[in-house]
Amino acid sequence: MRRVRYESTGGPLFLEEVPVPEPGPGELLVRCEAAGVTLPVVRKVTEAAEPVALGGEIAGEVVAAGEGVTRFRPGDRVTGMCFGHGYADFAVLHEAMTSPVPDGATAVDAIALVRSGLVAYGALEAARPAPGESVLVTAAASGVGHLAVQLARSRGAGRVVGAVSDPAKADFVRGLGADDCVRYTDASWGDPVDCVLDAVGGDLLTPAVAALAPHGRLVAYSSGGGTVQAYDLLVGAKSVIGFQMALIARGRPELYEQWRQELWRLFAEGSVKPVVHGEFALEDAAKAHEVIEARANLGKVVLRP
């Protein structure tokens, strides 16, 4: 089978031929129909000290099940988080990190909706906005951000603001249901908001905290790091909440499943519509990474093995 790999930090991505992996206990072997390209994986390629497996969300058909698997069998269509090599013709999923793809939905629908949607949904759950409260979403045109904007609106936010790096993304973000769109470099992000969902981190944390109204909550789910000054929280009684999807999937699988079902329900009724920026062949993985690195995507970037 074909698999995408690289040999040194920042090094070029290339295809190699390797044997099809065998699923171990509690694992599924999946023929990949689609794989998501995310900023955390792109950052690992450019920043990690040693080469890592290019994993992430995948969707496809189960072709084999390892010992102890009870929920799935060959022929089932599934999606899940791959912690090994996901940029490949075949990949291995842990059963606990796998969920079914409903009839009528494509593999690309699953990639664009499930993982990114779960992160967006979970971040909103962590912020717990009351009906009518305002929500600001950074990276609002990204795979997660564009769903967070829609989810905030569908959950009754009184005002939804998107924050982006490029003003050319503003019309896209407003088209998702945002009332306004601001740039990261703007001197002010407008009227204070009750919640900020931050997918960027780094230097952006300072203006994100400043954008909060008194008693506001910032949910940080970025891999970008960053520092928040305690005094900036103290003077406005503001809070910063960390959120990581993997902890929910592993530690609270019943909640993970509840959120997943709710996402598919919202998708079926048309309240949430995932947008795919582009689909790239496996051999064009480097081009897909370039789109993410340039922050040029409007919605999800997907590989199609």
pLDDT value of position 149:
98
pLDDT value of position 119:
93
Q: How far apart are CA 83 and CA 58, in angstroms?
A: 10
Query: Does residue 99 contact residue 257 with C-beta atoms inside 8 Å?
Result: yes
Closest CA to 141 of 299, 300, 301: 299
48: left (phi over 0), alpha (psi -120 to 50) or beta: beta
pLDDT value of position 249:
80
Q: How far apart are CA 55 and CA 52, in angstroms?
A: 9
Among the CATH numbers 1.20.1260.10, 3.20.20.140, 3.30.420.40, 3.40.50.720, which is that of 117-245? 3.40.50.720
pLDDT value of position 96:
84
Q: How far apart are CA 17 and CA 160, in angstroms?
A: 47
Mean pLDDT in consecutive groups of 10 residues from the start of the chain, 305 residues: 94 96 97 94 90 94 97 96 95 92 92 91 96 97 96 96 96 97 95 97 95 98 88 96 88 89 93 94 96 93 95
The dihedral through the CA atoms of 127, 297, 59, 265 has a sign that is positive
Domain ranges (residues) in the chain: 2-101+275-304, 117-245
pLDDT value of position 256:
87
Q: What is the pTM of this model?
A: 0.89
pLDDT value of position 42:
93
Scored b (16 or more CB within 10 A) or e, 240-256 reads beebebeebbeeeeeeb
Fold for domain 2-101+275-304? Answer: Quinone Oxidoreductase; Chain A, domain 1 (3.90.180)
